[in-house]
Structure 1
Amino acid sequence: MSTETFKQRFVLDTSLFVTEEIRRADESLEEAVLRLLDLIAHARLNLDISCYVPPTIHDELTTMLEARGVDEEVYAKLNTWVVRKHPDRYGLEIPANVVYSFVDEMSDRVDRGLRVSEEAVRRAERASDEPLEDHEHKTEVDAVISDLRDKYRGAMRTGVLDSREDFDLLILARELDAGVVTEDRGIIDWTEDFGLRYIRGREFPDLLEQYLATVDPEEKRTID
């Protein structure tokens, strides 16, 4: 079968690499990422499938991987087989409706954030500054603040574009006419507004395996 049938581009999100959903039983994060990168490499060699990340995503990903102490082999394969490309932020046009929807969404979220904050202030007024029975160093006020952070984060950030990394991902995918690979619910929601294809990160390794299964074993190129 011709590789033209499969020739595609994908832009990868950090969540693809760190989600537990791509791991097999008893597989570590490092092992799962190496297996994924091997699949990406073989798809590139045999099917001309290209995978990209914007530099902001690359930096975010490598920071997370460093925190998890992965081997240098991971970075070597990542830098070899996943292309870093800056999105064309100046040349790419974005429909006005996308901007309108974003402004409308943020306006609604600001209102929700205010309501969450007001509720927390009222609770704090009634709360005691004495330590909690089950937590020597935490007071009722501390508990209110902790709850406020969780609820405020949910009101303001969950399901919305809340970082330049997310925006770069979508812009680059639109520029390249590429599919977005992510586990982030907010990014998935915005792919519709940007007119983009997407695939859940947990499904991506299986997709590549299915594509590679069509390659004639005698003609298959490997990285070994």
Structure 2
Amino acid sequence: MAEYSLKQRFVLDTSLFLSEEIRIEGETLEAALYRLLDAIARAKLALGVSCYMAPSVHAELVGILHDRGVDEEIETQLNTWVIKKHPARYEVMVPAAVVHDFVHEMSDRVNRGLRVSEEAVRRAGEGDEDPERVVSDLRTEYRTELRQGVLDSGEDFDLLILARELDAGIVTEDTGIVDWAEDFGLRYLRGRDFLPLLDAYLSGTGRDDPLD
């Protein structure tokens, strides 16, 4: 068979590795991660498919895996087959329209957060509800109004900037990042579809045998 390379690039989000969507029935997190990283390794070796992570995203993922007691070999495989690269924050241009929309959205979300807080104060002042319940509801509603679906972390920003820099597709299960990828004009792929895509690439070129 003639040599063949897809030369595709993907930037991977933390949510890809942690999502239940990448597991088959009855599969543990570790088993799913080994299967995912094996496919990434084979796609890199056989087809030239490159996967990247921003260091901030990598650190976030590794910290979560440590907290969950995942086999340390997973981190070794991650470091071997996924390239860590800092995004060129001073070189990548972001459309002014995106920044304008972000400022407008954050202003609107702050106002909504204030209304949620005001309502909580009124409820607490009436004295008819458990204060702890009021605080719990406030936290939930406030988080929804201010954070759900918005670009609210350095890790998310690094992911988008790195993908724009590399002209790479984003792989994520985070709907908020999907929305921003569309605004940035970036290609994206749901995490649940990434393994089937790599498997299709490999089987289509006759290189679907697992690594030894």
Give the conservation status (yes or no) of the 8 Å contact 1:46–1:221: no
Question: Which runs of 5 or more residues in structure 1 are unaligned?
Answer: 129-138
Q: CA deviation at 1:101?
A: 0.9
TM (norm. structure 2) is: 0.96
Offset at residue 221 of structure 1 (A): 7.6
Between the aligned partners of 1:67 and 1:205, the Cα distance in structure 2 is 25
Larger radius of gyration: 1
| Shift, 1:222, TM fit | 5.7
Q: How many residues align?
A: 211
Written as runs of structure 1 = structure 2, the 5 A alignment for 1:1-224 is: 3-4=4-5, 6-128=6-128, 140-217=130-207, 223-224=211-212
Percent identity over paired residues: 61
Report how far residue 127 of structure 1 moved.
2.7
Q: Does the 8 Å contact 1:11/1:178 carry over to 2? A: yes
Instruction: Tell me if structure 1 keeps the 8 A contact 2:38–2:210.
Output: no
| Whole-angstrom distance in 1 between the partners of 2:210 and 2:76 | 16
CA contact (8 A) 1:117 1:152 kept: yes
* Cα separation, 1, equivalents of 2:209 and 2:23: 25
**Conserved 8 A contact 1:45-1:222:** no
| Partner Cα separation in structure 2 for residue 142 and residue 74 of structure 1 | 40
Residues 121-168 of structure 1: CA deviation (Å, up to 9, x unaligned): 11111134xxxxxxxxxx711001000000000000000000000000
Distance 1:221 1:207 in 2: 15
Offset at residue 214 of structure 1 (A): 1.2
Instruction: Measure the CA separation in 2 of the matches of 1:198 and 1:3.
Output: 23
Query: Superposition RMSD on alpha carbons, in Å?
Result: 1.4
C-alpha separation in 2, matches of 1:154 and 1:2:
50
**Aligned AA for 1:82?**
V
Output the CA distance in 2 between the equivalents of 1:192 and 1:151: 26
Structure 1 residues 223 and 162: alpha-carbon distance in aligned structure 2, compared to 1, 3 A threshold: same
1 CA distance for matches of 2:204 and 2:174?
Answer: 30
Amino acid at match of 2:211: I
Contact 1:124 1:141 in 2 (8 A): yes
Following superposition, which runs of at least 4 residues in structure 1 exceed 2 angstroms of deviation? 1-4, 220-223
Point out where structure 2 has 5 or more consecutive residues left out of the alignment: none
Separation (CA, whole Å) in 1 of partners of 2:111 and 2:33: 40
